[in-house]
């Protein structure tokens, strides 16, 4: 078993966690936030303005203010991160809290 750590390391920035897509029609920073309707920073991503029908491509959603604010917070003020982020991203980058192996494949492996 690999060593666990309580250090908060966002997998969406430093790992290989991909974007999520909520059944509501919104892109989320990861699948763990697909129902984070009341989580700080994330709740703004569920606004009617950010519904996927209003955009031609995902990049345009990622360039909106709520998304910029979220990643600025993760990088510069991570103590403000939603509790969902702390729950899932206080493990090592290659493990989920459910102990699922998330082996990181590097380009030269």
Q: Residue from 22, 26, 27, 32 that binds ligand SF4 (CB under 6 A)?
A: 32
Q: What is the total count of residues that contact ligand SF4 (CB under 6 A)?
A: 12
Q: Which is nearer to ligand SF4, 32 or 46 (CB)?
A: 32
Q: How far is the CB of 11 from ligand SF4 (least distance, A)?
A: 4
Q: Which is nearer to ligand SF4, 17 or 95 (CB)?
A: 17
Q: Which residues contact 48 (CB under 8 A, 6 or more apart)?
A: none
Query: Using an 8 Å Cβ cutoff, are 50 and 94 in contact?
Result: no
Regarding 88 and contact with ligand SF4 (CB under 6 A), the answer is yes
Pick the piece of the chain touching ligand SF4 (CB under 6 A) from 7-15, 43-51, 55-63, 99-107. Answer: 7-15
Strand partners of residue 20? 28
* 3-state DSSP assignment of residue 77: coil
Query: Using an 8 Å Cβ cutoff, are 10 and 89 in contact?
Result: yes
d(CA 103, CA 106) in angstroms, rounded, equals: 9
Write out the residues near ligand SF4 by the rule CB under 6 A.
Answer: 10-12, 17, 29-30, 32-33, 84-85, 88-89
């Amino acid at each position: 078993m690999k060593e666990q750590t309580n250090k908060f390391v966002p997998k969406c920035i430093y790992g290989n966690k991909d974007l999520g897509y909520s059944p509501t029609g919104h892109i989320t920073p990861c699948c763990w936030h697909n129902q984070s309707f009341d989580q700080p920073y994330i709740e703004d991503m569920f606004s009617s303005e950010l519904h996927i029908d209003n955009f031609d491509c995902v990049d345009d959603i990622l360039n909106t203010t709520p998304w910029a604010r979220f990643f600025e917070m993760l990088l510069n003020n991570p103590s403000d991160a939603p509790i969902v982020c702390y729950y899932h991203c206080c493990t090592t980058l290659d493990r989920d809290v459910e102990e699922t192996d998330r082996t990181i494949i590097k380009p030269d492996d």
